Amino acid sequence: MAGQRFSRRWLLVAAGAAAIVGVSAVQLPAAALDVDAEALRRCIRAEVPPYVGYAEASGRLGLPEIPQLESVTTLLTTTTRIRSYVAGADRWRADQLTGALGDSERDTYHLGAAEYVWDFGGNQLTRVLGQAPLRLPRAGDLLPPDLARRMLGLAPGDPVTAIPARRIAGRDAAGIRLVPTDPDTTVGRVDIWADPTTALPLRVEIAARTGPTLLVSELLEVTDGPPDPAVLRPVVPPGAGAVTASAADLSGALRDLRAPPAPARLAGRARLTLPSTPGSDLPGVGVYGTGLAGFVLIPTGRDVADRAVDGATAAGGTAIPVPFGRAARIGTPLLSVAVRSTGRRGSLLIGTVAADVLQQALLELPARGRPS
Amino acid sequence: MIGVELRLMLRRRRVWLCWVLLCAIPALVAVLLAVTNLAPAPGQGGAFLSAVTSDGQLFPAAALALVLPVFLPITVALVSGDAVAGEASTGMLRYLLVRPVGRLRLLTAKLVSVGAFVLLAVVFVTITSYIVGVLLFGFGADAAVGGAGGITSLSGVVLTPLQLAGRTAATVGYLALCMLAIGAIGLFFSTLTDSPLAAALGVLAFVVVSAILLPLDAAAGIRFYLPTTHWLAWIDLFRDPILWRAVREGVFVQLGYIVVAFGAAWANFATKDVTS
């Protein structure tokens, strides 16, 4: 009798534990949705539906630490928590919940032509003037709607097909798959699930030609409709700094005023013409290739290049024999990096192309930083 | 029964020693920060620690983050591990059960006693660190907007004293719940052994394993169910608007641990042969 009581009690506890785990783990299957993949792609690219959401983006790109680009490598190698308030294409706010313990926040407000950045760690609100022709990726770029629009925009002619629907953020989301046809790109597929009613992308998965998904971004909570206007107004709390800076000055690693001009062609690809406004030039920076098979050339100082070469080598990269200085390359399934340190300068190449392409481009760069 | 257990807990010197130590550790950190004026850089050191020198009212949050990972679980492990095993080790348990009191009632009283301990621990740390923080670092510049007692949220919006009080109370409640989950596990371990130390060490081993698994990608599938995953969710209470998701998930998981661990303690203790 005692043994039976013992068994019944433990059975009850086990059933309770299983029920608690089950409640949180069970995900309802999505209803079958019949959508026109091409039509959904057009809607996703054309519309910026208003919403309030919370997203998590997880990158598994296996990139080494690259000096001055830590914020970028962090975005692509860890999980980023992002809260977004979107009233329209030109009125939005994206909060990156930062800090090793999550005890900081970096909020970007985009209000028409003006942009503001609140940084709790720095206790400062920065008003950003103008627009740089190129900027480093930031957390807001990883939000599923933004990431989906960007990826679809880079491959407008590539075919998309419908994939099974998924249950995301409490709603059935229709799925489409983009498979790039460009043989030079490392991107193998881009899967996008969107609300079939509003065309709001809820989840994006990016994978290389082979292997598992390497970048996943999903809206875990979403509310349709515009946010409270009050949350779109940046404030300067007492005691905090308020500064104004040009977008070009905030380009960080991209801004090196002493850099030589970027070559017109690298690895058989022409340099793209970047939009330029007075004072926003990024000397030496070049974007090569089109669509999803592109790479960017970033001039750096020698110290940064040396540390990047060391980092790439330590992370399993390959040394590249060069006439002057040192060079190395590292190829992850989705993103490749090549770096060279020579004389007093260095060059960094990074893009969604094979590491061989970046090596060829690096070897074509003029030695000792002289323009070709 | 509950009143008896609460009075017993409040009469124990080691309980008061735990509370004093929990309050003293953040106070020592505050004194060192005030003397040296060397606050850690943002993102380094404990949560909120970089911001406390400009606003002492943030020190309760920093103090809670300081004691949360190690010291608070240690004290909860000691108290909860002692709950039943302590009675058994002193030979009191069989006399306790001779009284016309059901074992479930006894366990419930023990859990309430542990709950009172963790709640008072978090409240004491919050109150003493607020006093120490304001005395050493003063009110921040936000006092001009929110009145004395206003602070800057992580999102930059100034929180009024009323908002700060509400969010601090929510933090206290959330952390007490997190620690009660550890206490419930300790209560279960306490029914497995007659040694309070073994029970306490079992709790600490559980916490350490959870903390080890937390950053592992390979453990991503079970991360949600690890208790330590949710311990810092209360930080989201200091954003504006509040981000409830992590707090909500944390409450669910901690309540789950309390229910399951208390159930396991009951299942084991209800039919256990008590010989000491």
* pLDDT for the residue numbered A103: 76
Give the separation between CA A82 and CA A56, rounded to whole angstroms: 6
Tell me the CATH architecture of domain A256-369: 3-Layer(aba) Sandwich (3.40)
How far B117 CA lies from chain A's nearest CA (Å)?
26
B144 within some domain: yes
CATH 3.40.1000 in chain A, residue ranges = 256-369
- Report the alpha-carbon distance of residue B260 to residue B254 in Å, rounded: 10
Percent of chain B exceeding pLDDT 70 equals 91
Chain B interface disruption, residue of A7, A54, A98, A103, most B CBs within 10 A: A103
The number of domains in chain B is 1
| Cβ-proximal residues to A354 (8 Å cutoff; 6+ apart), any chain | A184, A186, A331, A336
pLDDT band at B228 (very low <50, low <70, confident <90, very high): very high
Name the phi and psi angles at B270, rounded to 5: -60, -35
Stretches in chain A below the pLDDT threshold 50: 369-372
Chain A, 230 to 249: residues with Cβ < 8 Å from chain B are 231, 234-240
B43-99 per-position pLDDT tens digit: 666 678 777 888 888 899 999 999 998 999 999 999 999 988 888 777 777 676 667
Predicted local confidence at residue A370, as pLDDT: 47
Contact A131, A280 (CB under 8 A): yes
Q: Would you give the DSSP letter of residue A353?
A: B
Write down the pLDDT at residue A62.
79
- Is residue B180 included in any domain, yes or no? yes
Rounded distance, CA B104 to CA B262, Å? Answer: 10
Interface test mutation site (partner A, options B54, B225, B254, B260, max chain A beta carbons within 10 A): B260
Is the Cβ–Cβ distance between A91 and A111 less than 8 Å? Answer: yes
- 3-state secondary structure (DSSP) of residue A283: coil
Indicate the helix (H) or strand (E) that contains A154.
helix A144-154
Q: Does B274 reside within a domain?
A: no
CA B259 to chain A, closest CA, distance in angstroms equals: 8
For residue range B113-164, list pLDDT tens digits in order: 999 999 999 999 999 999 999 999 888 765 555 455 578 899 999 888 889 8
- State ipTM: 0.85
Question: Where along chain A do the CATH 2.50.20.10 domains lie?
Answer: 37-232
Q: Cβ of A32: how many Cβ atoms within 10 Å? A: 9
CATH superfamily name and code, A37-232? Lipoprotein localisation LolA/LolB/LppX (2.50.20.10)
First to last CA, chain A: 91
Q: Label the pairing between strands A213-224 and A241-246.
A: unpaired
Which residue has tokens 């302590």? B86
- In angstroms, what separates the C-alpha of B254 from chain A's closest C-alpha? 11
Q: Is residue B276 assigned to a domain?
A: no
By residue range, what is the domain housing residue B124?
A: 2-269
Cβ of A16 and B263 within 8 Å? Answer: yes
Helix axes A144-154, A37-46, angle to 10 degrees: 110
Query: Is A58 within 8 Å of A222 (Cβ atoms)?
Result: no
Q: Token match 């989301």: residue?
A: A173
Q: Supply the pLDDT for residue A28.
A: 80
| Residue B171 is assigned to a structural domain of this protein | yes
Averaged pLDDT score across all residues of chain B: 88
Which pair of tokens denotes residue A264? Answer: 């017109």
d(CA A91, CA A143): 15
- How confident is the model at residue B17, as a pLDDT? 94
- Could you tell me if residue B27 is inside a domain? yes
